[in-house]
Chain A
Amino acid sequence: MHMADALLAPAVAATMYVASASAAGVSIHQLKKDDEPSKLPVMAVTSALVFAGQMINYTIPGTGSSGHMCGGMMLSALLGPYAGFLSMIVILTIQCLFFADGGLMALGANCWNMAFYGCFVGYFLIWRPIMNSKWFGEGKSAERARIIASSIIGCIVTLQLGAFSVVLETSLSGITELPFGAFVALMQPIHLAIGLVEGLITSAVLVFVHDSRPELLQGVELSEGGEAKRSLKSVVAILAAVAIVVGGGLSLLASSNPDGLEWALFGNADKGYSTNMGLDEENFGVDSTAAEKAESIQEKTSFLPDYAFPGSDSSAGTTVSGIVGSAIVAGVAIIICLIGGFFRRRKLKTE
Chain B
Amino acid sequence: MDELAARRSPIHRLHPAAKLLTTIAYILITLSFDKYDLSGIVPMVLWPVLMFQISGVEVRTCFYKLRIVLPLVMAVGLFNPFFDRDILFHIGSLGVSGGVVSMITLMLKGVFCLMASFLLMATTKIDSLCAALRKLHVPAILVSLLQLTYRYVGVMTEELAVMTEAYHLRAPGQKGIHISAWGSFLGQLLLRSMDRAQELYSSMLLRGYHDHFHYADIDRFSIKDALYMAGCILFFLVLRYADIAQLVGGLFVR
Give the contact stretch, choosing among A6-14, A114-122, A123-131, A248-256: A6-14
Asked whether any CB of chain A lies closer than 8 Å to the CB of B93, the reply is yes
- Interface residue ranges of B1-55 to A (CB < 8 Å): 1, 23-24, 27-28, 30-32, 35-36, 38-39, 42-43, 45-46, 49-50, 52-54
How many chain B residues touch A (CB < 8 A): the figure is 117
- Name the residue in A28, A268, A322 with the highest tally of chain B Cβ atoms < 10 Å from its Cβ: A322
Q: Which residue of A lies closest to B105 (CB)?
A: A6
Q: Is the CB of A216 within 8 A of B84?
A: no
Q: Majority SS of interface residues in chain A?
A: helix
Chain B residues, Cβ within 8 Å of A246: none
Q: Mark A313-324, 1 if CB is under 8 A from B, else 0.
A: 001111111111
Q: Which residue of A lies closest to B28 (CB)?
A: A10
Q: Is the CB of B182 within 8 A of A204?
A: yes
Q: Is the CB of A213 within 8 A of B160?
A: no
Chain B residues, Cβ within 8 Å of A216: 191, 194
Q: Which residue of A lies closest to B67 (CB)?
A: A100
Chain A residues, Cβ within 8 Å of B116: 104
Chain A residues, Cβ within 8 Å of B24: 104-105
Chain A residues, Cβ within 8 Å of B152: 44-45, 48-49
The answer for the CA separation of A86 and B148 in the assembled complex, in Å, is 13
- Interface residue ranges of A24-74 to B (CB < 8 Å): 24-25, 28, 31-32, 37-38, 40-49, 51-53, 55-61, 64, 66
- Interface residue ranges of B74-90 to A (CB < 8 Å): 76-77, 79-80, 82-90
Asked whether any CB of chain B lies closer than 8 Å to the CB of A330, the reply is yes
Closest 9 CB pairs of A and B: A325-B249, A340-B53, A322-B39, A273-B86, A208-B187, A325-B245, A321-B249, A204-B183, A44-B148
- Supply 8 further A-B pairs (C-beta < 8 A) apart from A324-B253, A326-B42: A4-B113, A24-B139, A52-B153, A59-B179, A89-B142, A94-B146, A99-B68, A333-B49
Binding site for A on B (CB under 8 A): 1, 23-24, 27-28, 30-32, 35-36, 38-39, 42-43, 45-46, 49-50, 52-54, 56, 58-59, 62, 65-66, 68-70, 72-73, 76-77, 79-80, 82-93, 98-99, 102, 106-107, 109-110, 113-114, 116-118, 120-121, 139, 141-142, 144-146, 148-153, 155-157, 159-160, 164, 174-180, 182-191, 193-194, 196-198, 200-201, 204, 211, 243-250, 252-254
